[in-house]
Structure 1
Amino acid sequence: MNKEYLTLASRVREEINELKQIVDRTQAGWERVKRTGDEFYLDSVALNLHSFYTALERIFELVSANVDQTRPKGENWHQELLRQMATEIELIRPSVISRETRNYLDEYRGFRHIVRNIYSFQLSSAKMAPLVNKLPKVFNRLKKEIDEFSCFLEAKGDVK
């Protein structure tokens, strides 16, 4: 039995549950932005979109460290990590996410970079709208793929 894989599967499932809360908070904040026009709610939405990708990256880092046994390095490691998760590693693991999901997530990765490098008053609701509007669809797709990967981990963990 590989307890590390079972532990990782549990941790990944826990992170997905927390991601759902982030998605819900993002949607609630966006509704308030639309209803009130209050830019402070826009800041909240941006922070939650940032948190969404950061939480995903935490999952991906866990997989790369515990399953792949290698993490990307260098200036573009965030992009490389995302690419690594969409790649099957023969004899080790299936892809964690599909390439289509990777493409969606790359937009959130890019937005997180923007949030980290500009002042909040420079945020644009028009640029955030597509990310917010796609978020439930992207999350549901991601959840399905991550659940399948967690089942893979649990099956590997049950091997005696």
Structure 2
Amino acid sequence: MSPDLMVMEARIRKELSQLQKLEKELAGILKAGETKMESVRLRAYASILHDFYSGIEKIFITIAREIDQSIPTGEGWHRQLLEQMTLDLPTKRPAVIDAKFAAQLQEYLSFRHRFRNLYGYELQWLKMEDLVKNMGPVLKDFKIYIEKFLGVLSDIMK
């Protein structure tokens, strides 16, 4: 495997580890949960969801920069990057994720956008509850996609 791809794989694996820590942090908050959500806990959930998608996006940016050699720019670049990861680029790489999984991730991207543009007191539990409860399974699926992708890259580089 080339040194550039070794560095890329190391960055991706580091980010996966960070995402795993986020999921554990969220699980701890959920265990301590109460029926009524107080402001601090609500903000903590929102921050974790924000960081979760940001970590996923860092992995996608690494792939776009190192392999695709093309990172979208301008308005809507976050959505374009997510869509780019669903593309099979025959001379460069296979699709990283499929369109169905991208649609799941789009929900986290949309939440992150709202989070960045709201005041904390405007956060609503009902608008983030499913994202919070599904973060663990989504991370599990994401790791499967990424491990498969890294395996294909490793085979190509042999």
TM superposition score category, shorter chain reference = over 0.9
In the TM superposition, what whole-angstrom CA distance separates every residue of 1:117-156 from its partner, at most 9, and x where no partner exists? 0000110011110101111111111110011111223334
Counterpart position of 1:20: 20
In the TM superposition, what whole-angstrom CA distance separates every residue of 1:32-82 from its partner, at most 9, and x where no partner exists? 343563220111110010000011111111100100011111200000000
Count how many residue pairs are aligned between Structure 1 and Structure 2. Answer: 158
| Structure showing greater relative contact order (alpha-carbon pairs closer than 8 Å, 6 or more residues apart) | 1
Determine whether 1:63 maps to 2:63: yes
Counterpart position of 1:74: 74
Give the deviation of 1:22 after TM superposition: 0.8
Counterpart position of 2:39: 39
What are the ranges of 5 or more consecutive residues in structure 1 without an aligned counterpart? none
AA at the equivalent of 1:104:
Q
Counterpart position of 1:106: 106
Give the deviation of 1:3 after TM superposition: 1.2
AA at the equivalent of 2:148:
E
- When normalised by structure 2's length, the TM-score is 0.93
Q: Considering only aligned residues, what root-mean-square deviation do their CA atoms show, in Å?
A: 1.5
> 3-state SS of the aligned residue for 2:95?
coil
Counterpart position of 1:6: 6
In the TM superposition, what whole-angstrom CA distance separates every residue of 1:72-130 from its partner, at most 9, and x where no partner exists? 11200000000001111112101111211101000000000011000001100111101
What are the ranges of 5 or more consecutive residues in structure 2 without an aligned counterpart? none
- When normalised by structure 1's length, the TM-score is 0.92
Give the deviation of 1:13 after TM superposition: 1.2
Indicate conservation of the 8 Å contact 1:30/1:45, yes or no.
no
Indicate conservation of the 8 Å contact 1:86/1:95, yes or no.
yes
Percent of residue pairs bearing the same amino acid type: 30
Indicate conservation of the 8 Å contact 2:23/2:136, yes or no.
yes
Indicate conservation of the 8 Å contact 1:2/1:156, yes or no.
no
Give the deviation of 1:23 after TM superposition: 1.4
